[in-house]
Chain A
Amino acid sequence: MKRNLLERALRAVEELPGWNLADWDLLLRQADRANLLSRLAVLLEDAGLIDSLPAGPRYRLQAALVLCAAQNRAVEREVEHIRVSLQGVVEGVILLKGAAYLAAALPAAKGRIFSDVDILVPHALTPAVEAALMLNGWISTHHHPYDQRYYRQWMHELPPMQHMRRETVIDVHHAIVPITATRLKPSADSIIAAARPVPGRPGLRVLAPTDMVLHSATHLFYNEEFSHGLRDLSDMDLLLRHFSSDPAFWPELVERARRLTLERPLYYCLRHVLRVFGTPIPAEQLNDLARAAPAPWAGRLMDELWRVALRPQHQSLAGRLDFLANGLLYLRAHRERMPLPLLIYHILHKTFRIKQGSKSDSPTV
């Protein structure tokens, strides 16, 4: 029998001190694979429960907290480097995703392990931003001419840039979906205009609450790869619970999704945070969004696919048809990303340039 202990644990951390050690064993393996070990640890810490856990699990969770705190410090330092580098080039750097949650001290930053920083700048400013970053030590990656063209002509971001000495990576976005996206056409100008300053952090901005959720949802439900799927869904659960304290939030969220053509990703987002985390969502908005659902047959299929994509990719939960589900989602993500002729052209290019794996040679000790 397959037991998704991680979902159970994230829904009810208060029950964890009563778990037996065999269940802890499986839980921590699933959490580690889903990149949610440190989030679980922070939730337990916030609930004042971490000290009441058995020694083995407690150690692993506390070790995850050390790693996460160190990564967060590194990201904060990196954000400061970026802010200084872009002073006078953009008015208030707009941070996205993890760096934004961290800078704005949002609950979605809790125990979130990440190292790359994503920023959003107006399309017209990308050359100036790229130049400023280069002057400060970041260099473009993906030197193959095809990759450069892929990013610069079709995507919503520059090729990732890496700092020469610190080896940190920054993704410079100018939109939240690719230029070539087939169905979603959210206005980047409108999203940038609605961004707001971070209290106490001059020079930094984050997306408006509605846009932050919509961006996260669009990113997850139009992605091609889901090793962080459950983590990203957990982010949205935490964001939605947090923003719910403003009574205007929910009606605004649905209205904003309509205007940005992002009702479908929001529909999937709410459906699955509700299923996995039991996020409280007002019935009115859930009903409103039913209009964005896919056709019933497609809806049933998509539910099954998301079920596979949004669970920890651990052997204890693996199914025989997972490869099919992941394959279909991969094709769907690409189909949404670019028109079919361009997609075929892209796939042919990629097929004939298979990259080498990236394992290290041997253990370090």
Chain B
Amino acid sequence: MIVRDLSRSELRNRLRQGLSIRTGPFVNRVSAQLALVENAIALLYDQYPLEESGFADFHVRVARPAGLRRWVSPQVFFYIDGLAPFNPLPANQAFPMLEWGLNWCISAHCHRHLILHAAVVERNGRALILPAPPGSGKSTLCAGLIQRGWRLLSDELAMIDPAAFALTPIPRPVSLKNASIEVIRAFAPQAVISPVVFETVKGTVAHLRPPSDSVRRANETAPPGWLVLPQFVAGAPARLESLSKARAVTHLADNAFNFSLHGQQGFELLAAVVEASACFSFTYSRLDEAAEVFARLADGQASPG
């Protein structure tokens, strides 16, 4: 059964009790009695499998507090199994807060994987890892590529499975920020995007519904194929340059969430990922040019410029 199989009132009821949604290997039991969250889940999570086993990895809830702040400039809290690890946000940010909270659940708990702050997409059976600090255009690039035939593994968290030496998909809605919302709308008019939320800590945000194929194939891991450090530069032509493996490793280590927990094995794993990947840096300003470069890369025709 998938979320879409539930009627609106069933969805509302489940959200009151806890709606168990499977995203790749993890099950999130989400509770919320907020129209904003219900609508966003109906829109963005409609194709996700419901978990009926009774087990969930994360028990999360977004809810308004009791008392004055329920009514006066209302707030929402994010709870994990009854505890609130973060300060509240304005109530209109309930859905982004849920998404950020779910990301945190993974980066703070799922330590069997080595977790990097990176987007991951797949084509021709190989994973393209796009690590980068926020603002570099990684999410925009990821959102653009999945509209052009790449499969979404994650827009935020590269989950490297040490045992399988592969990237584990956790496809979830792609977070779009500020100008990239309009860029994606123009680039892919058919894309389904949640209502825009203004004035969050990350600016204006909206979430993009992942392609059906990515959700359906959430169990298919992908071995590393390419490692590309993207950088958005206004007006610049799309340009791929080869990157030394040493720089690639240090860059990955800088963008890892739990590198230190994995000790020497973590370092060896990271080195092996870089060794197995063609490594590039990439500057771009136009998404359609970028998509062409990556299509050639996937087909083995790209040569560093």
Contacts and interface: CB of A to CB of B under 8 A. Distances in A.
A21 B78 CA distance: 25
A33 B83 CA distance: 10
Interface string B82-95: 10111101000000
Nearest to B55: A21
Chain A interface bracket (under 10, 10 to 19, 20 to 34, 35 or more): 20 to 34
B25 A360 contact: no
Interface stretch (A24-32, A188-196, A325-333, A344-352): A24-32
Interface in B195-211: 201
B56 A25 contact: yes
Interface string A331-365: 00000000000000000000000000001111111
A69 B264 CA distance: 12
B78 A363 contact: yes
Nearest to B82: A315
Interface string A104-130: 000000000000000000000000000
Contacts of B78: 363
B261 interface: yes
Given A22-B54, A56-B27, A73 B112 contact: no
Contacts of B111: 63-64, 66-67, 70
B87 A364 contact: no
Given A362-B100, A365-B107, A56 B57 contact: yes
Contacts, number: 84
A59 B106 CA distance: 12
Contact of B117 (A56, A64, A361, A365): A365
Contact of B100 (A55, A56, A63, A365): A365
B212 interface: no
A57 interface: yes
A79 B247 CA distance: 33
B81 A29 contact: yes
Q: Give the interface SS of chain A, mostly helix, strand, loop or mixed.
A: helix
B55 A362 contact: no
B122 interface: no
Nearest to A29: B81
Contact of B201 (A55, A59, A60, A362): A362
A66 B112 contact: yes
Contacts of A22: 53-55
B230 interface: no
A56 B110 CA distance: 11
A137 interface: no
A279 interface: no
A363 B86 contact: yes
B54 A20 contact: yes
A301 B51 CA distance: 44
Nearest to A20: B54
A24 B25 CA distance: 16
A63 B87 contact: no
A180 interface: no
B87 A360 contact: yes
Nearest to B88: A359
Interface of B: 25, 27, 53-57, 59, 78, 81-82, 84-87, 89, 97, 100-101, 103-104, 107, 109-112, 117, 156-157, 201, 257, 260-263
Given A21-B54, A56-B57, A70-B263, 16 more contacts: A25-B56, A29-B81, A57-B55, A63-B110, A70-B261, A360-B85, A360-B86, A361-B201, A362-B89, A362-B100, A363-B101, A364-B103, A365-B103, A365-B104, A365-B117, A365-B157
- Closest CB pairs A-B (n = 10): A22-B54, A365-B103, A21-B55, A363-B100, A363-B104, A70-B261, A66-B111, A63-B111, A21-B53, A25-B55
